[in-house]
Amino acid sequence: MNKPLNGLLIGCGFFSRNHLHGWSDVEGAEIGAVCDLDPARAEAYAKEYSIPEFHVDASILKSGAFDFVDICTTMDTHEDLVALAVEAGVPVIVQKPFAPDIETCRRIQANAEAAGVRVMLHENFRFQNVFRRLRDILDSGEIGETTFARLSWRNDIDVYTNQPYLTKTKRFMIMDVGIHMIDLARFLMGNADAVTCLNQSVKEGIAGEDAATMLLRHDNAATSIIDVSYASHRTPSLFPQTLGEIEGRLGTVQILQGEVLRIHSNRTTRDEKVEDDGRSWTSEPWIQIQDSVPKTQQHFIDALRSGQAFETSAEDSLQTYSLAEAAYQSADTGKLIEISSLEEVD
């Protein structure tokens, strides 16, 4: 077995705990150092996760010591941090959202491509067990060509305590959760070229939209509806489940509560319960998301080693972020927006 690839993790905050647990489950890679602007955080995470080095300045990337960097910081920091990695020639996996707007996403991607540095988005919803199994069912042809989908993510979890920046983010729901759904819609239904969107601000004191309803037009004329909300009250809470259905010309797959897929085909119906991985470090209600983290990371490492394309490469992800940008334009104008109309700003 080759020597494990040595990684630097930047961002010792809320979600990076799952990244660090995830890396301990990944074959062929290890985190040799962590970095955070806050030295106390960097030192504490290095100690807690038995990582030999900690740093406070990301320019350590220029040391030549790292085979990859895992950027687990908020979207406003991504352009500068990816640029540092590109300058150092270090491949990148960077957390979602890529960047606050499509122009910045395009600039980051073009800079990396020009330098020949590979960049992947850590976009993990498509790596959830339930959606890998759903993709397999679609690939089997059992329900035929897909024609309609609904992806619904609605709960009232207190996301703000762990991620306080979300109360101030002007572009909130679509960039925080909507892009997970848009990527899922593309993963399950194929690319889309147009979107209509209505946004809502429901909860008091939140700067951005906390609910959004999008209608996507896919390249094969299929339609998908994405609805996301942090202001929806159910008991028990549905967090972090995505519910919905995928319809095809020969059948339907429903995505039901409890990670159950209900397959309707050939006039019969069956339920498949998709199980969790049973990892020692995961815990409810986060397990469905936590399990997807090492799977996302393993794909990054395997593709880095083999040269195969990243499923969520920066280039491919421009489609997702173009749809998010178009959704905001649609919500502002009340019109259907085609992503071809999003002018590339030189």
Name the residues that contact ligand 89V, by CB under 6 A: 159, 176-177, 240, 289
Residue 159 binding: pick among ligand 89V, ligand NAD, none (C-beta 5-8 Å cut-off by kind): ligand 89V
Report in angstroms how near the CB of residue 88 gets to ligand 89V at its nearest: 27
Residue 73 binding: pick among ligand 89V, ligand NAD, none (C-beta 5-8 Å cut-off by kind): ligand NAD
Residue 177 binding: pick among ligand NAD, ligand 89V, none (C-beta 5-8 Å cut-off by kind): ligand 89V
Please give the residue whose beta carbon sits closest to ligand NAD in the complex.
Answer: 13
Nearest by Cα to 316 from 227, 187, 215: 187
Q: Which is nearer to ligand NAD, 94 or 339 (CB)?
A: 94
Q: Which residues bind ligand NAD (CB under 6 A)?
A: 10-16, 35-38, 41, 58, 72-75, 77, 81, 95-97, 122, 124, 163, 176, 289
Residue 4 binding: pick among ligand NAD, ligand 89V, none (C-beta 5-8 Å cut-off by kind): none
Report in angstroms how near the CB of residue 148 gets to ligand NAD at its nearest: 26
Report in angstroms how near the CB of residue 34 gets to ligand 89V at its nearest: 20
Q: Which is nearer to ligand 89V, 138 or 323 (CB)?
A: 323
CB atoms closer than 10 angstroms to residue 172: 24
Q: Which is nearer to ligand NAD, 76 or 275 (CB)?
A: 76
DSSP-derived secondary structure letter, 58 = G
Report in angstroms how near the CB of residue 329 gets to ligand 89V at its nearest: 22
Residue 286, C-beta contacts closer than 8 angstroms, at least 6 positions apart: 18, 240
DSSP notation for 288-327: HHHHHHHHHHHHHHHHHHH-PPPTTBHHHHHHHHHHHHHH
DSSP-derived secondary structure letter, 95 = E
Query: What is the phi-psi region of residue 21: left when phi exceeds 0, alpha when psi lies from -120 to 50, beta otherwise?
Result: alpha
Residue 70 CA to residue 92 CA, distance in Å, equals 6
Q: Which is nearer to ligand NAD, 152 or 169 (CB)?
A: 169
Report in angstroms how near the CB of residue 317 gets to ligand 89V at its nearest: 14
Residue 32 CA to residue 22 CA, distance in Å, equals 14
Q: Which is nearer to ligand 89V, 240 or 251 (CB)?
A: 240
Nearest by Cα to 130 from 305, 291, 279, 1: 291
Report in angstroms how near the CB of residue 97 gets to ligand 89V at its nearest: 8
Extended strands (E) in 129-186: 146-154
Q: Which is nearer to ligand 89V, 59 or 162 (CB)?
A: 162
DSSP notation for 268-292: EEEEEEPPP---TT--TTSHHHHHH
